[in-house]
Chains A and B, each alone.
Chain A
Amino acid sequence: GENVEQHPSTLSVQEGDSAVIKCTYSDSASNYFPWYKQELGKRPQLIIDIRSNVGEKKDQRIAVTLNKTAKHFSLHITETQPEDSAVYFCAANSNSGGSNYKLTFGKGTLLTVNP
């Protein structure tokens, strides 16, 4: 089955700096890679996703890059703000019986943005 590794497990940056979180996956058939933000005690919320037919996607201060050959994808947050502080999860879908619905999540990165 799919295996997703995420690094680092914790990341502390100063307000205004950039933050980068990296993930690798094992299933070469995976073609959908979402990133979720989860604040303490809250539900995971999708912040950006990318499909395998593109290498990069950007939405304001957030961007995701995908390298299918190397099987890794990264989240980039620029001009970080204290409200960006949360746990971020990467995920990859996996092919099961011809269906690509199942998501496998990384273990998460606790991002702290210091004012």
Chain B
Amino acid sequence: GAGVSQSPRYKVAKRGQDVALRCDPISGHVSLFWYQQALGQGPEFLTYFQNEAQLDKSGLPSDRFFAERPEGSVSTLKIQRTQQEDSAVYLCASSLVGSSGGGGNEQFFGPGTRLTVL
């Protein structure tokens, strides 16, 4: 079946421009995550959705970052007034089940969107 897809795959923005990054999770997956991966680093958690509810946004670096998942499926990560330090790969991941106290679950990653801010 289809995996997690993201669009666009590459985005070049001028400093100060707003951008919107899209994630299509695996159909039926309850949980959706956004990560930021800087060059040569591991993914860093940004935010988490369980269905349409944003349960954790503790990793968003500033109030310029905003994420939504209005119908519990597709999600959009928006970055306002982009800065050079926002340049990174933005990864989306989905997981079949929701959060629980029993332990983590496999997260399936999309190919990422490489954002370059000039």
Contact = CB atoms under 8 A, between A and B. Distances in A.
B104 A32 contact: yes
Interface of B is mostly: loop
Interface of B: 4, 31, 33, 40-45, 48, 55-56, 58, 91, 95, 98-112
B45 A31 contact: no
Contacts of A91: 42
Contact of B48 (A32, A101, A106): A101
B103 A108 contact: no
Contact count band on A: 20 to 34
B11 to A, nearest CB: 15
A103 B33 CA distance: 10
A107 B33 CA distance: 19
A45 interface: yes
9 contacts: A31-B104, A34-B106, A44-B91, A99-B55, A99-B99, A102-B45, A103-B107, A107-B42, A108-B41
Contacts of B43: 44, 89, 103, 105
Contacts of B106: 34, 46, 49
Contacts, number: 75
A93 B109 contact: no
3 residue pairs, one from A and one from B, having the closest CB atoms: A105-B42, A32-B104, A99-B99
B100 A105 contact: no
Contacts of B103: 31-32, 51-52, 93, 100
A42 B111 contact: yes
